[in-house]
Amino acid sequence: MSGRGLEDDCVRTRIEAWLRNDKSVVRAAEELGINTKTLGSTIYSAEGRRVAAELTQDDVPETGDIVLPIFADDDIPASRILDHMEARFRQRLKHADSLRWFEFSVKDTKPIGIMWFGDPHLGNNGCNIPLLRRDIEIAVSADGMYAANLGDTADNWGGKLMRLYGENDVSRKTERRLARWFLQDAGIPWILWLEGNHDQMDGAFTAYLRAINASVIPMMDWRAKFKIQFPNGAVCRVDAAHNHKGNSMWNELHGQERAAIMDETADLYIAGHHHDWGIKRKELPCGTVVTLARARGYKFIDSYAHRGNFVTMKRGSSIVTIIDPMADQAGRVHAFDDAAEASEFLKWKRERAPTS
C-alpha cells in the first residue's frame, strides 16, 4: 500500500473512533493510544472533516439551510513538515562536521609550498597589479607550489558603501570578470578559497564564484581548518581564516596567537584582512611549535588607510609556507614574506628530498 493510502486509513480510523465515542476526543485518544492533540489536529483538518462528512451526513458543517464548504489544507501535515526538516537538519549537520579538519592528501613525501594570496581587491585602483602578476607567475611555474586565497577577491561594495564604486574605474561586471580570471584562467594551482567580508557584501558575488567553480576547489565561509596528510604519516594541521578573532595595535598577529592558545592546536595559523603582515614562530606550553602569519594583500593605494594613519607596508602581500614532511613537528613549516625567495627555498628542499 502506498504511503498516501496508509495516511488515508489512519485518518479514517481516528475519525471512526471519535464518532464511536460520541465525539469525545479524550476517550477516542485513549482508545487509540495517541495524544489528544494529535487526534484533534486530525479531526479539524480538512481531510478529517471530509471523512467525517462521508461517514455521517450529520457531521457536514451547516448553518441553517446552508452547507458550508470544506477547503483543502494549505500545507502538508505538521508531522510531515517536521520529518522533512529533521532530514534536512541531519544532512546539514553532516555537512558542517565534514568541514571541520577536512583532509588534503599529498601523493609523495617531497616538501610542498602554499602561496597564501593576501586580499587581492581586484579592480581597485590601488591593487598592485605588477606584483600580483609576478606572484601568480611564481605560483604557476614553481614545482610543488600550490595556492590559497585568503579572501576579499574584489571590493564588491554593497549597501551604503555602493557609493565607493564611484572612486574606481571598473564596474561590478568587470570585477566579476577579473575574479573569474583569477579563479579559472590564470592557471593558479588552487587548493582553497576563503570568503572575506568584501566577498560577502553582495551575496550574489559568492554565489557567482561558487557557480563557476568547475574544479570544485573548496570555497569556505571565512575560515577553514584542515589537515595536509603525507604518505609517510606526517600531518600538517592548518587553521586559515580571513581573520581570526582578536585585535591589537601592538601585534599584527594577535588574532592568530589567540587562536593558537585558545583553540585546537594547529601547526600553522594564517590570515589576511588587515592589510599588514607578520610572521612569528613560537613554542606553546604543550610543546607544539606553531607558525603564525598574516598576509597584507595587494591594495597599495588606500584612502581609508591614509585617513586612518595606517602604515602602508611593502612586503608580505602573499605569505608562502613550505611544508616538509621529512622534518620533525618543530621544523615542518617555514614561512616567507617574499614569493621569489620562497620558491628558491622550495626548489632546494625538493631537490635534496629522498626520492622514495
What local confidence, expressed as pLDDT, does residue 6 receive? Answer: 57
Can you tell me the distance from the alpha carbon of 286 to that of 266, in angstroms, rounded to the nearest whole number? Answer: 12
The per-residue pLDDT of the chain, averaged, comes to 91
Q: Do 140 and 63 lie in a common domain?
A: no
What local confidence, expressed as pLDDT, does residue 310 receive? Answer: 84
Domain-terminating residue out of 92, 123, 156: 92
What local confidence, expressed as pLDDT, does residue 356 receive? Answer: 60
How is residue 286 written as a grid cell? 604543550
In a domain, 165, yes or no: yes
| Reported confidence tier of residue 140, pLDDT bands at 50, 70, 90 | very high
Assess whether pLDDT exceeds 80 at residue 320.
yes
Express each pLDDT in 213-222 by its tens digit. Answer: 988 999 999 9
Can you tell me the distance from the alpha carbon of 154 to that of 172, in angstroms, rounded to the nearest whole number? Answer: 9
Strand 66-67 vs strand 62-63: parallel, antiparallel, or unpaired?
antiparallel
Assess whether pLDDT exceeds 60 at residue 342.
yes
Q: Counting Cβ atoms within 10 Å, is residue 93 exposed (0-12), middle (13-18) or buried (19+)?
A: exposed
> Which residues, listed in sequence order, are joined to residue 290 by a DSSP beta bridge?
282
Can you tell me the distance from the alpha carbon of 147 to that of 161, in angstroms, rounded to the nearest whole number? Answer: 30
What local confidence, expressed as pLDDT, does residue 46 receive? Answer: 80
Q: Do 64 and 127 lie in a common domain?
A: no
What local confidence, expressed as pLDDT, does residue 214 receive? Answer: 85
Q: Which of these, 277, 286, 272, 266, lies nearest to 332 by C-alpha position? A: 266
Can you tell me the distance from the alpha carbon of 82 to that of 89, in angstroms, rounded to the nearest whole number? Answer: 10
Across 35-74, b (16+ Cβ under 10 Å) vs e yields eeeebbebbeeebbbbbbbeeeeebeeeeeeeeeeeeeee
In a domain, 97, yes or no: no
Express each pLDDT in 239-274 by its tens digit. Answer: 999 999 999 999 999 999 999 999 888 999 999 999
The pLDDT of 170-180, averaged and rounded, is 96
Angle at 268 between CA 263 and CA 270, to 5 degrees: 90
Say how many C-beta atoms besides its own lie within 10 A of residue 32's C-beta.
Answer: 18
Q: Which of these, 300, 276, 261, 297, lies nearest to 117 by C-alpha position? A: 297
Express each pLDDT in 29-73 by its tens digit. Answer: 999 999 888 898 888 888 888 888 888 765 445 556 676 676 777
Question: In total, how many domains does the chain have?
Answer: 2
Domain-terminating residue out of 45, 68, 92: 92
Q: How far is CA 197 from the centre of its chain?
A: 13
Q: Do 140 and 256 lie in a common domain?
A: yes
> Which residues, listed in sequence order, are joined to residue 281 by a DSSP beta bridge?
291
Percent of the chain with pLDDT over 90: 70
The pLDDT of 127-140, averaged and rounded, is 98
CATH number assigned to the domain comprising residue 307: 3.60.21.10
Q: Do 120 and 29 lie in a common domain?
A: no
Q: Which of these, 272, 269, 271, lies nearest to 281 by C-alpha position? A: 269
Q: Do 22 and 87 lie in a common domain?
A: yes
Quick check: helix, strand or coil at residue 83?
Answer: helix
Can you tell me the distance from the alpha carbon of 74 to that of 274, in angstroms, rounded to the nearest whole number? Answer: 51
For 62, half-sphere exposure in the C-beta direction (CA atoms, 13 angstrom radius) is 8
Quick check: helix, strand or coil at residue 275?
Answer: coil
Angle at 226 between CA 335 and CA 94, to 5 degrees: 165
Residue pair 198/152 in contact (Cβ under 8 Å)? The answer is yes
Can you tell me the distance from the alpha carbon of 243 to that of 329, in angstroms, rounded to the nearest whole number? Answer: 25
Containing 290, the helix (H) or strand (E) segment is strand 289-294
Range(s) of the domain holding residue 110: 102-351
Q: Do 81 and 174 lie in a common domain?
A: no
Q: What single string gives the DSSP state of each residue in 68-79?
A: PP-PPPSS--HH
Q: Do 39 and 130 lie in a common domain?
A: no
Q: Do 248 and 188 lie in a common domain?
A: yes
* Choice between 192 and 355, residue whose per-residue pLDDT is larger: 192
Containing 117, the helix (H) or strand (E) segment is strand 112-117
Q: Do 13 and 113 lie in a common domain?
A: no
Express each pLDDT in 329-339 by its tens digit. Answer: 999 999 999 99
Can you tell me the distance from the alpha carbon of 331 to that of 341, in angstroms, rounded to the nearest whole number? Answer: 18
Q: Do 142 and 288 lie in a common domain?
A: yes
Quick check: helix, strand or coil at residue 105?
Answer: strand
In a domain, 60, yes or no: yes
Express each pLDDT in 1-40 by its tens digit. Answer: 455 555 667 888 999 999 888 888 889 999 999 988 889 8
What local confidence, expressed as pLDDT, does residue 187 receive? Answer: 97
Express each pLDDT in 82-114 by its tens digit. Answer: 889 999 999 999 999 999 999 999 999 999 999
Q: Do 213 and 85 lie in a common domain?
A: no
Domain-terminating residue out of 42, 72, 92: 92
